[in-house]
Structure 1
Amino acid sequence: MSTTETAIASAEAHSAHNYHPLPVVVASAEGAWVTDVEGRRYLDMLAAYSALNFGHGNRRLIEAAKAQLERVTLTSRAFHHDRFAEFCTELAELCGMEMVLPMNTGAEAVETAVKTARKWGYRVKGVPDGMAKIIVASDNFHGRTTTIISFSTDHEARADFGPYTPGFEIVPYGDLTALRAAMTENTVAVLMEPIQGEAGVLVPPPGYLPGVRELTRERNVLFIADEIQSGLGRTGKTFACEHEGVVPDMYLLGKALGGGIVPVSAVVSSAAVLGVYRPGEHGSTFGGNPLACAVALEVIAMLRTGEYQQRAAELGDHLHRELGLLTGGGSVEAVRGRGLWAGVDIAPALGTGREISERLMRRRVLVKDTHGSTIRIAPPLVISKEDLDWGLDQLRAELGA
């Protein structure tokens, strides 16, 4: 067997089959390119679902991590460390908020948001104990913990994991009438992705997010924006909510915040909301650790330049123009997205999303499928226009073939 086949066979034998990766084994990476164990190079057009917004091996981020590795990497929150206050201050300012609660993974940020909204509902809004309700959207993806899959409409993520956590109301994404009808005196929050990633990069209809903001403000309900995939430059703005001029009550951040080096997530909100916590009520041993803060601080500094948001906007316009030219010819049924983020619905007659992804892999382009014949395109924001065009050429060639 080849080195690739041996590695895949070993993984299949000794790891749980909770993922179905493409049959490529990455050994090294730089920028928008990865190299496998056989020495073959591939263009990464997925960027680890936006965790690698700044590319593989970004030198600024690597140097920030190396410098911190030499000093201190973990204290736990039992003590203060010298990067924590700076991280919380800088991230709060980037978000236009007041307080930060750092965690590690995106799912932890969502779980933290759920707990925060409930506690705020009981302590501040006056909802009777145990009666808090959170409204979410159908086809959402917020993670895979027991609580989160309790309000998922994805059968694969949900089946066989019950009993499920109560307290959630699911409404159709993009439907303000349904959202208004679902609200009661016990509603404490509306939790939504400003663009639904896993569902196929679904952009809500114009006016929807402002409508959600208006409704939640009217009813004294928290608007929680899950920007774990959409945030930090991906859509051409720092936050996807900015495209609609919306500021939520709470941002959920992750993925790109760790620079592709360490898992870093955060809940960012006002003092009135995050101020409900008291010592011992919530925490994480690794949340807000020195190494995570050092890397995230460099990410924040990079975003403050506006360079990456501008690249995503300009290259994103180019990406969507080129993808749009593929529609109407029988091979691509629809294209959605914003910035350097697109969901492409391939005509089912050409193959499933998985099959298209495998065929593109053989052309040295890495994308990932979702929901039938849809593929997702989300290259690192540092990709060059030439490399982006080369990747699009491979897609055209495959669809033509």
Structure 2
Amino acid sequence: MSALTLERPASAQSARLMDLEAQFGARNYKPLDVVLTRGAGVHVWDVDGRRYLDCLSAYSAVNQGHCHPKILEAMVAQAGRLTLTSRAFRNDQLAPFYEELCALTNSHKALPMNSGAEAVESALKVARKWGYEVKGIADDQAEIIVCAGNFHGRTLSIVGFSTDPVSRQGFGPFTPGFKVVPFGDAAALEAAITPDTAAFLVEPIQGEAGVIMPPAGYLKAARDLCTKHRVLLILDEIQTGLGRTGKLLAEEHEGVEADLTLLGKALSGGFYPVSAVLSNAEAMSVLKPGEHGSTFGGNPLACAVARAALKVLMEEGLVENAARVGARLQASLAAIASPAVKEVRGRGLLLAVELHEEAGPARRLCEALRGRGLLCKETHDHTVRIAPPLVLTEAQADWIAEQFDAELRAL
């Protein structure tokens, strides 16, 4: 029997909170109807005390698990000392954060920001300025190449080069200077490069598009082309970075290094908005005092939290765990015998189950799984993204596969 038939109606408390949200909140999201109040590790609990295994991790922001005690301890301790100075003054957490982050990622420089979208916008500014001051592109002629199906955030400039009509419709006019090529097509990338090309911005795996994997060797080919044509390679690792794919950075799967690497989400373990642009010395050298900044970027609370989050990732072996448990979960999902499944794909603990259109919308599957105590979220109508915290055990991975098996067979 499908879990949909077992679903209990929302309690009075849940219903009241959802009604208040609908009454007073902007309706720019369509969440599942579950009201969460507590989290620990891979689990979250709703206001009625029901426990769920979280298979979204706040879009990979909670790689270290919900409310990790060591990150919590660092946050509370720093919050009692100093939270914000702005960059008008120095603080004692920023320099160690720079040192530890750059050493861990083999970077020369780091630019701290708050949200992932801010990191993307910062990288676009750096790339254009580098194009003018270092490459010698004529003023206001710099081009940045992006990929169809991309997701880099929600600012006006970013949605302007999105190919998702839902993201773009009604928000124009858009920032010029961007060129779109097919994802995974190195030949198309080379054909699009001109003397005015400053950078190529790409996700190693397209997460929001449905965990779309590029052909093997694509990132290496992109790196070689960017080097050949003196173009900055910008890798958006906001979702794929920090262990999610079974490597610290997804670029490591093909042995490449970007000129600019973007991190966010799990950089704070879900406690605080922290993002960063990592760079080689040449690209970041174009920024001078007063040309870019953020009141909260690099604040002592953010830096202390991020330092603890990075330490947890490495000391607890979460990167290696993502590789091992992710391979097990992917194999189990791929073995499910259901005609509803079109494809299972991904890497590490960034996975997706795509359904055939005839099976109906993926939202229905997510709602059924919720009834079994498993929280997933659909993307692009027919795909369910699976990205649990990297603390997931093999037994928990097997349980996830069992729940999918039961509901997919019902479909």
Please indicate, yes or no, whether the TM-score normalized by the shorter chain is above 0.5.
Answer: yes
Residue matched to 1:88: 98
1:326-345 deviation per Cα after TM superposition (whole angstroms, max 9, x unaligned)? 26x41211011100111111
Which residue of 221, 230, 239 maps to 1:211?
221
SS in 2 for 1:122: helix
Q: How does 1:164-183 map to 2 (within 5 A)?
A: 164-183=174-193
Residue matched to 1:42: 52
Which residue of 321, 332, 337 maps to 2:331?
321
Please state if 1:375 is matched with 2:375. no
Alpha-carbon distance in 2 for matches of 1:194, 1:299: 22
Alpha-carbon distance in 1 for matches of 2:318, 2:116: 22
What amino acid sits opposite 2:63 in the alignment? N
Residue matched to 2:5: none
SS in 1 for 2:172: coil
Q: CA deviation at 1:358?
A: 1.1
Which residue of 112, 121, 129 maps to 2:131?
121
Which residue of 6, 15, 18 maps to 1:5?
15
Whether contact under 8 Å (2:113, 2:274) holds in the other structure is yes
Please state if 1:355 is matched with 2:375. no
Which residue of 346, 358, 362 maps to 1:337?
346
Which residue of 22, 26, 30 maps to 2:36?
26
Alpha-carbon distance in 2 for matches of 1:396, 1:324: 10
Structure 2: 5+ residue stretches without partners: 1-10
4+ residue stretches of structure 1 with deviation over 4 A?
A: none
What amino acid sits opposite 2:234 in the alignment? I
Q: CA deviation at 1:393?
A: 1.0
SS in 2 for 1:237: coil
What amino acid sits opposite 1:44 in the alignment? D
Which residue of 251, 260, 263 maps to 1:253?
263
Residue matched to 1:221: 231
Residue matched to 2:204: 194
Q: CA deviation at 1:306?
A: 6.9
Number of residue pairs aligned between Structure 1 and Structure 2: 400
Residue matched to 2:252: 242
Residue matched to 1:77: 87
What amino acid sits opposite 2:154 in the alignment? R
Residue matched to 2:272: 262
Please state if 1:158 is matched with 2:168. yes
Whether contact under 8 Å (1:52, 1:256) holds in the other structure is yes
Which residue of 110, 115, 122 maps to 1:112?
122
Whether contact under 8 Å (1:92, 1:98) holds in the other structure is yes
Q: CA deviation at 1:260?
A: 0.6
SS in 1 for 2:199: strand
What amino acid sits opposite 1:205 in the alignment? P
Residue matched to 2:7: none
Which residue of 61, 67, 74 maps to 1:64?
74
Please state if 1:278 is matched with 2:285. no
The TM-score with structure 2 as length reference comes to 0.96
Alpha-carbon distance in 2 for matches of 1:382, 1:301: 14
What amino acid sits opposite 1:324 in the alignment? A
Which residue of 365, 382, 391 maps to 2:400?
391
Q: CA deviation at 1:93?
A: 1.3
Whether contact under 8 Å (1:175, 1:208) holds in the other structure is yes
Alpha-carbon distance in 2 for matches of 1:331, 1:90: 46
What is the aligned-residue identity percentage? 52
Residue matched to 2:315: 305
Alpha-carbon distance in 1 for matches of 2:269, 2:298: 14
Please state if 1:101 is matched with 2:84. no
Residue matched to 1:139: 149
1:189-243 deviation per Cα after TM superposition (whole angstroms, max 9, x unaligned)? 0000000000111111011110000000000000000000000000000001111
Alpha-carbon distance in 1 for matches of 2:188, 2:358: 35
Alpha-carbon distance in 1 for matches of 2:409, 2:277: 45
Whether contact under 8 Å (2:333, 2:405) holds in the other structure is no
Structure 1: 5+ residue stretches without partners: none
What amino acid sits opposite 1:268 in the alignment? L
What amino acid sits opposite 2:45 in the alignment? T
Q: CA deviation at 1:347?
A: 2.8
